[in-house]
Each structure stands twice: as structure tokens, then as C-alpha cells.
Structure 1
Amino acid sequence: MGVEGGEELPKQIEMPEKSRFRYNSPFAQVTLIGLVCFCCPGMFNALSGMGGGGQVDPTAANNANTALYTTFAIFGVLGGGIYNIFGPRLTLFAGCLTYVLYAGSFLYYNHYHHQAFAIVAGAILGIGAGLLWAGEGAIMTSYPPIARKGTYISLFWSIFNMGGVIGGLIPFISNYNRSNAASVNDGTYIGFMCFMSAGALISLAILPPSKVIRDDGSRCTNITYSNVRTEAVEIMELFMNWKMLLIVPAAWASNFFYTYQFNHVNGALFNLRTRGLNNVFYWGAQMLGSIGVGWLLDFSFPSRRMRGFVGITIVGVLGTAIWAGGLANQIKYNHADLTKKLDFKDSGSAFAGPFVLYFSYGLLDAMFQSMVYWVIGALADDSEILSRYSGFYKGVQSAGSAVAWQIDTHNVSRMSQLIVNWGMTTVSYPLLVVLVYLAVKDDPKSDEEPPKASAPPLDNSIYADNTNDGLK
């Protein structure tokens, strides 16, 4: 190694395989944000995935979700700036608490059947979700090593969606002997609230990006704080950024299909206990999809741009096949009497076909969103920039969700919803190809990434946990 002041610098710590488990390593921090999302959005997904929030009448859940995604659309865009100002701990902790309130509102609804609390709680959750997901996006896309972003995205997605798997078991087990029940019992909502409260506590362990050290000694960002004026200007510029405009169709489509899948496949075709079981496999499929696409986007070809092209193509082909299967299923059930719900104990293709379709929808969701996150992560490497990009993505995504839930409230036909979902995802693929072609370089340094300060001295101190920044 070189010398400075006539003395040789201490050698960098060896054993990089062991070093990844440092508290201030990208691996540890991405694992922690995965656990936060396991407990909060993961459980929320399980709750939503039952169709109607676990109620026989989906109207309250539809209206609550419309309020949720309306505020989410605003605070998703603003969330990146808020994250840059307040840092991860306060931003994520505040966001997590709103999930607890939302689950509690359905516990209240289970007894009194008043929509107002659920709708207000949904609007508050939209604010909190905007904060949480902007922080999550910044951490997931900027903390990992540049050449392994797909792998870390799949790590996060697997942990996060394990929440949906466990969350799906809660209503399945607690309502197992209630095959003809109209709505889930109180214990289901209380179980969700316990997990969500744990997620809020875990969020306090997340380190700010300036404290996270990669194995090569580099930091995720040199920025330790921002200010309101800077973030307001930068957020406004996102709406004129051609890269973000190319992402808009994919962002809009990426949660739009949940309304159809949850309410008109899982909710319409299956009884209550089977919906919980289906969600175990739906979110389990997401884990498989994220791992597969993560490997593809990191290891399949030496060229990063080529990996992007191949990944988008494969997701596009698979998506076309799955939506075609959805069309065949919808034609079969379009005019059928859906008062008799399918049960997991039913034999034959009556249960197997819709079950495999719902599983496939989960697989596609993870592959589609992991692919989009990888593209966003390839546009820059700095936490400050990527928090804004991720916030913009979540904001547009949430605006689409708000529209989708309200469309369902107005009784738009299932077939129309399916066709719109299929069409929007199809349009997004060529636009993402154009974005990869124009903006993703094989040189991992993005043009938009600000100059980095020279790496700190490679001594043991940068790998040690700062006693002021959390638990070891």
C-alpha cells in the first residue's frame, strides 16, 4: 500500500465474506429494511390480498385504498425529499406507525361497520407509506455494490414478501374452521397489528447512508443532510426528467393490477380461508420471481446493458403468457354464478386452474417490480438521487392504484379491468428498453452521480460500528 507522512497505512480488513455481516454493511442494512417491510407492507399486502380487507363487502376497503393511494401519490413523490432532510430512522419510524393504525381501523370496522375511520386511516397510511417506500427505495438501490444491485433487490424482495407469506397464514389458521365465514375474526387484525408494531421498532436500527460502508471502503453518499429548498427544486425537476417520464407507464401499471387480482380473482373465486392460503403461495411466488430476475440482471451477461435488455424481454414474454391465461380464466367465470366459492379441499381443475393463475400473478409482480427497481438503480449510484427517483416511482405507482381502486368501486367490469392491466404492462416494456439503451451504461458510474470524495483511510475504524449509531 502507499504511504502518507512517511508511515504505511494499516491494511484493509481481509475476510470480505465475514465483513458483509457488519452492522454498517450494505448487506446488514438491506436485510434490516427487508425486515421492516416484512412487518409493515408485507402484512398490509396479506390483509389486502384477502380481498375487501377480509370483509365480505369490499366497499370499505376500496374507499380506504382510494384515500390511501391518493395521499400516497403525493407523499411518494415528496418522500424522497423528506427522507433526505430527516434521514432514515425518523422517516421510516413515522411511516411504520401508520400501518398499525390502518389495521386497527379494520378491527374497529369488524364491530361497528362504519367506513369513516377506515377511510381516514387509509389517507394517513398513504402519507406514511410514501415516507417508508421512498426510504426503502433509496436504501435498496444505493446501498448495495454497483455490480450486485439485482442480487440485493432480490434479497430485499424475498424478506419483504415473506411477510405476505406469514401474513397469509394468519387468516388461514385463525379462520380454518370457519369455511363459510363472511369476514375474518378479530384475532387476524390483532396479529397484523403486532407485526406492524415490531416493524416500527426495527426501523430505528437503520443507519443513515453516510454511515454505511461497502467492503471496498466507499460510502453510499457524502451528503449528511439536505434542505427544503433544495429538495423542492429537485422534486419539481423530476417531472421534466426524460428518464422518469419513460418510467411512468411501468410505475402506473405496477400496482394497478392488485385491485383486479385481489378482488376479482382471489376475492371473487375463493372462500375466506382459502384466500389466506392462496396468499401464502402468491407472496411465496414473489420470492421465487425476485430471486430469478435478480440473478438474471446481475450475472447472465458481462454487459450490464445487455442484462437489462434480456431481463425486460423475458419478463415481457412471461407477462404476456400469464395475462393470456388470466383472460382464459376470466372468460370462463365472466357470467358464472360466483356465490359458491372454491375451497382448497376441492379436487380437480375447478380449484387448480385459478390457484395456479393467482400464483403466477404473484410471480410476475415480483419480476416486474424488481426489474423496474434494477433499472432505477442503474441510473445513478448516490442515495440522495435515488431516493428522489424511488419516490417519484412510488408516487406515480400510487396514483395508478388510487384510480384502480376507485374504478372497482364504480363496478367497472372484470373483463375491462383485465384488458386495461394487460395493455398497460405491455406498453411499459418497449419504453424500458429505450431507457436502458439511452441511459444505462456498462461503465457503472452514472453521469448524474456527483463526484465522490476519496475513500476514507482503509483502517479498522470504518468497519467498526459507531457506538452513537445503533446496536451492534
Structure 2
Amino acid sequence: MLNRRTWNVIHLGIGFMFVFTAFQTFGNMEKTILDSIQKEDSSFKGDGYTSLAVIYAMLALGNWVAPSIIGSLGPRLSMVIGSITYLIFIASFLYPKTWLLYGASALVGLGASIIWTGQGNYLTLNSNDATMARNAGIFWALFQSSMLYGNFFVFMAFEGKTHIDDGTKNLVTGVLTAVCGAGVVLLLFLRPSVGVDGQAVVHRVIGPVEAFVEAIKMLAKKEMILLSFTFTFTGIVQTFNTGVYSPSIASTLEISDDPKRLMGLSGLFLGVGEIVGGVVFGLLSSKTVRWGWSPIVLLGFVVSVATYFCIFLNLPNESPIKDTRDAAFITSNAGLAILCSGLLGFADSCFNTQVYAAIGTVFSDRSAPAFAIFKFIQSLAAAIAFVYSKYVGLYAQLGILLAWVVIGTATFCITEIMVRRRLVADDSSQTESEESK
């Protein structure tokens, strides 16, 4: 039923869709655009992987102050402030300077910590145990649909181009800046969170010291320690999906006559996979909730392993680092590469929708610091991955992903078993207490 709480989740998802139509499209093509700028301007030394590493490093640091900002300003105003930093970052590409690139990268990293912690808090305030998985799926599908529109635009704008000229760069940047601005406006008009009774929820005001201490205490909980391994995997795979894989296709010169254009198509199908997963897990949440979160995560594990193997066969080892005509284990195939993009997106949605559901359920009374810890660990892992992506070949990166998907899946399943056992024990204790009365 589309009650006010559900509409709030839909409004949230649409706002994020506009903001991240701009940002995720840039993340997908940033390395390629900056490489082209360097060819035209020898004084420009900006690097795409370094910029993304700065973003995620600052995001990780910012998550330690984000809960106090959410506690002081509330999730809605916090998300508006965070979204403005995305607008500044994207607009900075109209004036490509090395210092501006890295300064805007640091700023958007801090803004990201605020907008994502606020998002998790707002989503939780508009959900309960029965609707958390569904709402996470609805939000994820709307949010990831951003991968379709921006990347389709890039696919058309980059047609036939082996080099991204200044005019094309400015066209893409101008359009995506306007789209991001529309997202800021949508978040500005986000309505207050409401409870099951339809009444507005008053956000909990806490000071910065209290918020920091609360986050530290939560980090020491057994469930959070186990989930931190899953968070780490989601960060590493986020780097691969959004910043490494599509440029690797574009750098594989033997894959097609127009490999740069495939980058936009790859991002588009990555978004399709994310949306399919979000819609399926959102619509089927009422059916799957009885089985828990682990079966969907295990599905994501199987799809991930199969996809990594296909990528290993299809793309050359040097593709994440430079343009190459090296042969892969099989003849590089554009269709297989794009299919893998969709599978990467679907597998990612398996993990992320269930992580959101788990955090929103297990830590529902302290969702702001819980989501801040999630984003801190995820972002730190993503930042580290962006650093080594500049130097490490494709095969080693796939090996790292394979190791972490095993670890992350195992620890997530163990966490759910612990939570279910505790809930059963609590129900038994409550029943015994009632019978004794």
C-alpha cells in the first residue's frame, strides 16, 4: 500500500536518482575524460583513480562526524547540504584544474558521508521490520536507475570518438550539472519522516562527542564486527564496478571498432542489473523475508563468482591501467563484456539491499551511527582499491574480489544466524515470563 511512509521512500529514491545520474555517470567515465584533458593540456596532472581515491578517503573520515550532523540538523537538511557538494564537484569539470579537481573531490567526499548517513537514517525512520527490505529494494531500484539515463547520454555523446574533445566534455558536464541541480531541489522538498501512525517523527538531537562515542561502542558489537567484512567487500566491488570495469572495456582496443563508446553501454547495463535486483527483491520481500537475508546474498555470491571468471577470460590483464591490444584468454567479445556489466550490477544489488535491510533491522534504534560505520568501512575499502587500481592488473584485482566475496558472504550469513538465534531466545524468555504471571 502506498501510504505516506512509502511515498517518502519513493521521493527519496527519485531525488537520489537525479543527483547520482550525474555523479555515477562521472565516476564511470572520469578516468577517460581526465586522460583526454591531459592530452590537450600538459599542465593538467589530474588522475581519475586518484580523484576517486580522495573522494572515498574523505567519505570514510567524514562518517565519524556525520552522525552528529544528522543529529543536529536532521536527515533532510543534511542530505540537501550533502547533495550541493555533488553539484560543485560536477561543475568543476567545466574548469579543469588539478587543484580544483582534488579540492572538489575532497569536498564531495565529506558531502557524501552526510548524504548517505542521512539517507540511511531517513529510510529507517520511514520503515519497520516488515517493510525495511521492501523499502530498501524500492530505494535501490530508483537510485540505481540513475545508471541508465546518464550512461545512455554518454553512449550517444561519445559515438565515434577515440578522444573526448573539450566541446563534448563541456556538453556532458553542463547537462549533468543541471540534472544534479534538479536532484538538489527534489531533496529540498523531502517531507518529514512519519511513524506507523502517520505522525511526524522528531529526530533525536545529539552532540558531536556523544555521537562519536555511540559510534565507537557500536563498532565493538559482535554483529557489527562480522558485518564489517561484508562492508569491506561492498567497498572493493564498488570501486571495480563504477571506476575500473567500464574503463577497462574502453581500454581493450581489440574488443570493437568503437571501444570508448562501450563505456557508456557498460554503465547502462550495470544500472539495468542494479534495477532488476532492486525491483525483484523489493517486490518479493514479503515472500523472502520468512527465509531471511542470507539466500539473496548467496545468490549474489554465485553470480559474482561466475561473472569474475567470465571477465578473467574476456579482458586482457593490462586493461585497467592503459589502452592495450593484448590478447585475452579468449577473443575479447563486446557482448560478453556488456553482459558481465549487467551481472555485476545484479550481484551488487543482492548484497546492498540485504545489507541495508540488516542494518535497518538490527540497529533500528541507532540507525545513524550504524549507517555511518557501514559507509566508513565501505568507503575506506573503496579508497584503498582505487589506489591499487592504478598499478594492479585485472587478474590480481579479480583475485582480490574473489577472496573478499567469500569472506563477506560467510560473515554475513553468520551474522544473520546470530541475530535469528537471539530473537528466538528473546521470544522464548518473553513467553516464559508471561506464563509465570
**What TM-score bracket applies, with the shorter chain setting the length?**
0.7 to 0.9
Does the C-alpha gap of structure 1 residues 241 and 188 become closer, same or farther in structure 2, counting only changes over 3 Å?
A: same
**What is the rounded CA distance, in whole Å, between the counterparts of 1:364 and 1:414 in structure 2?**
19
Does the C-alpha gap of structure 1 residues 378 and 446 become closer, same or farther in structure 2, counting only changes over 3 Å?
A: farther
Match for 1:33: what amino acid? L
**What is the rounded CA distance, in whole Å, between the counterparts of 2:415 and 2:362 in structure 1?**
9
Give the counterpart of 2:300 among 309, 315, 320. 315
Residues 41-440 of structure 1 correspond to what in structure 2 (within 5 A)? 41-50=20-29, 52=31, 54-56=33-35, 60-109=47-96, 114-176=97-159, 178-182=160-164, 184-209=168-193, 212-214=194-196, 217=197, 223-270=203-250, 271-300=259-288, 303=290, 306-330=291-315, 333-334=316-317, 338-339=323-324, 350-382=333-365, 385-409=366-390, 411-440=391-420
Cα shift at 1:442? 9.4
Listed as ranges, the gaps of 5+ residues in structure 2 are 39-45, 251-258, 428-437
**What is the rounded CA distance, in whole Å, between the counterparts of 1:53 and 1:439 in structure 2?**
44
Whether the aligned pair in 2 keeps the contact of 1:49 and 1:262 (CA below 8 Å) is yes
Whether the aligned pair in 1 keeps the contact of 2:49 and 2:243 (CA below 8 Å) is no
**What is the rounded CA distance, in whole Å, between the counterparts of 1:371 and 1:54 in structure 2?**
34
Residue 460 of structure 1: aligned partner: none
Cα shift at 1:98? 0.5
Cα shift at 1:324? 2.3
Tell me whether 1:28 sits opposite 2:12 in the alignment.
no
Whether the aligned pair in 1 keeps the contact of 2:296 and 2:354 (CA below 8 Å) is yes
State the aligned residue count.
Answer: 403
Supply the RMSD in Å over aligned alpha carbons. Answer: 2.8
Whether the aligned pair in 1 keeps the contact of 2:86 and 2:180 (CA below 8 Å) is yes
TM-score (norm 2): 0.84
Match for 1:52: what amino acid? K
**What is the rounded CA distance, in whole Å, between the counterparts of 2:426 and 2:102 in structure 1?**
42
Report SS of the residue matched to 1:207.
coil
Cα shift at 1:200? 1.4
Q: Which has the higher helix share?
A: 2
Does the C-alpha gap of structure 1 residues 263 and 438 become closer, same or farther in structure 2, counting only changes over 3 Å?
A: closer
Report SS of the residue matched to 2:130.
helix
**What is the rounded CA distance, in whole Å, between the counterparts of 1:223 and 1:444 in structure 2?**
30
| Cα deviation 1:290-348 (Å, max 9, x = unaligned) | 222334543136x3xx3223223222222222222222234xx236895469xxxxxx9
Does the C-alpha gap of structure 1 residues 208 and 414 become closer, same or farther in structure 2, counting only changes over 3 Å?
A: same
Does the C-alpha gap of structure 1 residues 144 and 268 become closer, same or farther in structure 2, counting only changes over 3 Å?
A: same
Whether the aligned pair in 1 keeps the contact of 2:360 and 2:367 (CA below 8 Å) is yes
**What is the rounded CA distance, in whole Å, between the counterparts of 1:108 and 1:139 in structure 2?**
35
| Cα deviation 1:205-250 (Å, max 9, x = unaligned) | 22343xx133xx1668565423333212212212212221111111
Does the C-alpha gap of structure 1 residues 222 and 92 become closer, same or farther in structure 2, counting only changes over 3 Å?
A: closer
**What is the rounded CA distance, in whole Å, between the counterparts of 1:265 and 1:67 in structure 2?**
19
Does the C-alpha gap of structure 1 residues 322 and 442 become closer, same or farther in structure 2, counting only changes over 3 Å?
A: farther
Whether the aligned pair in 2 keeps the contact of 1:53 and 1:106 (CA below 8 Å) is no
**What is the rounded CA distance, in whole Å, between the counterparts of 2:377 and 2:200 in structure 1?**
26
Listed as ranges, the gaps of 5+ residues in structure 1 are 1-16, 342-347, 448-472
Does the C-alpha gap of structure 1 residues 193 and 223 become closer, same or farther in structure 2, counting only changes over 3 Å?
A: closer
Cα shift at 1:366? 1.5
**What is the rounded CA distance, in whole Å, between the counterparts of 1:229 and 1:444 in structure 2?**
35
**What is the rounded CA distance, in whole Å, between the counterparts of 1:241 and 1:115 in structure 2?**
42
Report SS of the residue matched to 1:412.
coil
Residue 7 of structure 1: aligned partner: none
Report SS of the residue matched to 1:352.
helix
Match for 1:213: what amino acid? G
Please say which of residues 116-125 and 160-169 is displaced more in the overlay.
Answer: 160-169
Does the C-alpha gap of structure 1 residues 279 and 335 become closer, same or farther in structure 2, counting only changes over 3 Å?
A: closer
Whether the aligned pair in 2 keeps the contact of 1:88 and 1:208 (CA below 8 Å) is no
Whether the aligned pair in 2 keeps the contact of 1:48 and 1:54 (CA below 8 Å) is no
Does the C-alpha gap of structure 1 residues 442 and 60 become closer, same or farther in structure 2, counting only changes over 3 Å?
A: same
Match for 1:147: what amino acid? A
| Cα deviation 1:140-166 (Å, max 9, x = unaligned) | 233124212221111111111121211
**What is the rounded CA distance, in whole Å, between the counterparts of 2:138 and 2:242 in structure 1?**
25
Please say which of residues 129-138 and 351-360 is displaced more in the overlay.
Answer: 351-360
**What is the rounded CA distance, in whole Å, between the counterparts of 2:269 and 2:35 in structure 1?**
22
Cα shift at 1:51? 5.1
Does the C-alpha gap of structure 1 residues 416 and 236 become closer, same or farther in structure 2, counting only changes over 3 Å?
A: same
Cα shift at 1:416? 1.1
Please say which of residues 75-84 and 153-162 is displaced more in the overlay.
Answer: 75-84
**What is the rounded CA distance, in whole Å, between the counterparts of 1:47 and 1:276 in structure 2?**
10
**What is the rounded CA distance, in whole Å, between the counterparts of 1:64 and 1:199 in structure 2?**
23
Identity within the alignment, %:
18
Cα shift at 1:43? 2.2
